[in-house]
Structures are given as C-alpha cells and as structure tokens.
Amino acid sequence: MTKRHAGSQYMRLAEHLLQQIQEGTYRQGDLLPSEAQLCEQFNISRITARAALKELEIGGAVSRRAGIGTKVLSQTLSRPVFAHAGGSIDEVLYFTQGVSFKLLEKTIFTVTPEQAQELKIPEGQRFSRLHALRKAANGSKLLTSVHYVPALLTPSVGQLAKLRSSLAQFIAETHGDEIQTIRQEIGACLLDATQAEMLKQAEGSAAVSSRRWYLGREGKLLLLSLSVFPAEHYRFESVLIRNVGH
C-alpha cells in the first residue's frame, strides 16, 4: 500500500473545507466538524485534521476556541504566514507542511571547535550544510534557512527537490528514527541585503530568526535548522498554564 503523505492530505482537507464554506455548506457563524469528526469522516490522523483547521485559522477563514469549536468567519483566506503553535512536537513538525524546499547550495565539512561551540553540534564529525529557500504553493518566498545534517543522514538532492514537509521528520522516518525532543531559540533580527533579495523584502526590514535542534532516540542529533522569516510571515502561538498551588 502506498504511504499517504500527511502534508498533501492536510492541504487537500483545508481546500475541501474552504470550498464547502464558499459554497454555503457552512455559513458565517456555523461550526465546522471537530477534529475527531474529521478523522472519522475522512479516515485521517488527528495531526492532519488539526493542521487543516489551523491552516484555515491562519488565513482568517475560521476562529478556534477551546470548548466552543471551529467557527466560520469568512469565505476567503488572507495571505499565507507561518503560525507556529508551540504546544507539541507534532505542531512544530507540521507548520511547514505543503511548503516546497528549494536547495540553493550544498556543502560537506568537518565540524571545527569554533563551529561546535557556535552551533552546538559535535566537533570533528562530518556534516552537510544545506542552504534552502521555502516557498508557498502560490510561489511566494516565505523563509530562507540553513540546515546542518550529519553527513550519513543527509537526503539526496532528488529527495530534497520533492520535499513538501518537515525536513527533520523526513530524515527521522527515512532512517527509522523518531523525533523525541526539539530545542529551539527564537529571536528578532533585521534582513541583510542577501536575505532581503531572496525573500523579496526591503533590506533592514524586521524578521524573525529561529534555531531548532531536532533530537531522535537516545538524544541523537538529526538536524539543526537556522531559519529567517520576514516578520509579517511568522506568528508564534503558545498556551501558558498556571501550576496549581504556586
């Protein structure tokens, strides 16, 4: 049986739900089916259902509230952005679903002491450095990234050309591993001339930078990703819960 691609599934479901909204099956103020109902109706995973509803929420077509559900707001989607919901590994992995990966440059190197200290990757090991551009389905350039992958885990150029999902997840699945931990650092920056030209933005405009270390079983490093997003294309979401008794 051919393995289903979660990224394409979630995009197809989002498009299907939007079409139903536009055709009047669901009107403004109506509630869409819950994640559990979508899973049953379309024989999909909870992650895929959640990603599709998140896509509609990001585009402004719906609002989502705990205890209420997913309410229809509009028949149209606004321009795409990356919305990173910080509640789980799955949410981090699916936020690049459906976004193409254009490899700009690939080099292989041995990690120096300086690089090991700066990047927090193992000194003396062989790594691949992949410089890439991520694009939305409409061709808009959304982020530029540099990925550091252990040399023996690096996908081929052909595999990267077909990538439409998380690179870390692809590496883990290809090598029979599973992402257990993601360490991340997120900060603000300004686009330099090269980044601005690549992303079709003004030099010096506001941007968001992120570093993410993806660790597999037994703490094995699978990937380090350094990404830069135009500020208008990125939103970080999280839920904070008060500890009882504190």
> Which of 124-128, 164-168, 236-240 shows the highest mean pLDDT?
124-128
- Residue 143 has a pLDDT of 87
pLDDT > 90 in the chain, percent:
55
Predicted confidence (pLDDT) per residue in 181-214, tens digit? 999 999 999 999 999 998 888 999 999 999 999 9
Question: What sign for the dihedral angle of Cα 161, 166, 168, 170?
Answer: negative
Domains of the chain: 6-78 (1.10.10.10), 93-237 (3.40.1410.10)
Tell whether the model's pLDDT for residue 26 goes beyond 80.
yes
CA within 13 Å, CB half, 48: 20
Whole-model pTM above 0.85?
A: no
DSSP single-letter state for residue 27:
-
DSSP 75-139: SS-----EEEETT-HHHHHHTTTT-EEEEEEEEEEEPPHHHHHHHT--TT-EEEEEEEEEE-TT-
Measured distance between the N- and C-terminal CA atoms of the chain, rounded to whole angstroms: 52
Tell whether the model's pLDDT for residue 79 goes beyond 80.
no
pLDDT > 70 in the chain, percent:
83
Tell whether the model's pLDDT for residue 1 goes beyond 50.
no
Rounded CA-CA distance 122/112 in Å is 9
Q: Which residue has the higher pLDDT, 93 or 67?
A: 67
Q: Which residue has the higher pLDDT, 232 or 115?
A: 115
